[in-house]
């Protein structure tokens, strides 16, 4: 269920995208604590490659099997601003229902990627902030709520479609304390409930294993969270 519109998603993508550039350039050699295999420079190279690839998908010159272009950390330091501006221009020019392919079971429309870009940059902005010593600022609550919905709409649904052997009679319930909201998803059939509680930002980051899901466990099967996929 999409909870933010086209314009709001683009505002978040632009804000977080610029912050990724600032943070990664400020600490290019520092370890990204949430993804310790990366330095700040490596993270910027990853996001720059994604930003170069995305307009080609909209233009039809890249497909879901086209690998991301190779971008070195040195190239990314100079390319990021232009790549981000090009990507945002592509997303702003699109309408939500424009046909654009994606890799998931979701409809092949532009809004999938508009949403994906906002969520990609939200999590990577948080990642980039872990290059410093202070705790990263949380992901905006409504954006994080939409990210939770996207995680289940796209990643969980597609994973279960591709790997039906993973289907379970189980339900996960997320209690978003800052939004006074509860989100429940069956995996894919209803069953015993595993409950997590935290802010919208904390819960989204736990789904993406940026923080330990078990830290937010309230009750139910802890094993479900111990086995939670890293994607």
What are the pLDDT digits (tens) for 18-47?
A: 999 999 999 999 999 999 999 999 999 999
Between CA 51 and CA 120 the distance in angstroms is 11
Q: Is the pLDDT of residue 231 over 90?
A: no
What are the pLDDT digits (tens) for 157-204?
A: 999 999 999 999 999 999 999 999 999 999 999 999 999 999 999 999
- At 85 the pLDDT is 98
Between CA 158 and CA 176 the distance in angstroms is 24
Between CA 90 and CA 112 the distance in angstroms is 14
> What three-state secondary structure class fits 221?
coil
The answer to whether the pTM exceeds 0.85 is: yes
In the block, which residue shows the tokens 């909209």?
58
* Mean pLDDT rounded to a whole number for the chain: 97
- At 93 the pLDDT is 98
């Amino acid at each position: 269920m999409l909870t933010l519109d086209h314009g709001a998603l683009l505002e978040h993508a632009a804000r977080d995208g610029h912050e990724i550039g600032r943070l990664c350039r400020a600490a290019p050699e520092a370890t990204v604590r949430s993804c310790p295999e990366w330095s700040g420079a490596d993270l910027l190279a990853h996001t720059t490659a994604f930003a170069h690839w995305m307009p080609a998908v909209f233009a039809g010159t890249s497909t879901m099997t086209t690998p991301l272009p190779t971008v070195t950390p040195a190239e990314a330091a100079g390319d990021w601003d232009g790549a981000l501006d090009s990507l945002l221009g592509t997303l702003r020019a699109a309408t939500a229902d424009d046909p654009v392919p994606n890799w998931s079971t979701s409809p092949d429309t532009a809004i999938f990627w508009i949403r994906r870009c906002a969520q990609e940059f939200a999590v990577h902005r948080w990642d980039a902030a872990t290059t410093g010593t202070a705790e990263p600022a949380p992901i905006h609550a409504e954006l994080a709520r939409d990210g939770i919905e996207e995680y289940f709409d796209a990643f969980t649904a597609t994973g279960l479609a591709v790997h039906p052997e993973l289907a379970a009679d189980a339900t996960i319930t997320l209690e978003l304390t800052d939004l006074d909201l509860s989100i429940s998803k069956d995996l894919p059939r209803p069953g015993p409930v595993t409950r997590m509680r935290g802010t919208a930002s904390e819960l989204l980051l736990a789904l993406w294993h940026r923080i330990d899901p078990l830290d937010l466990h309230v009750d139910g099967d802890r094993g479900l969270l111990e086995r939670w996929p890293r994607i």
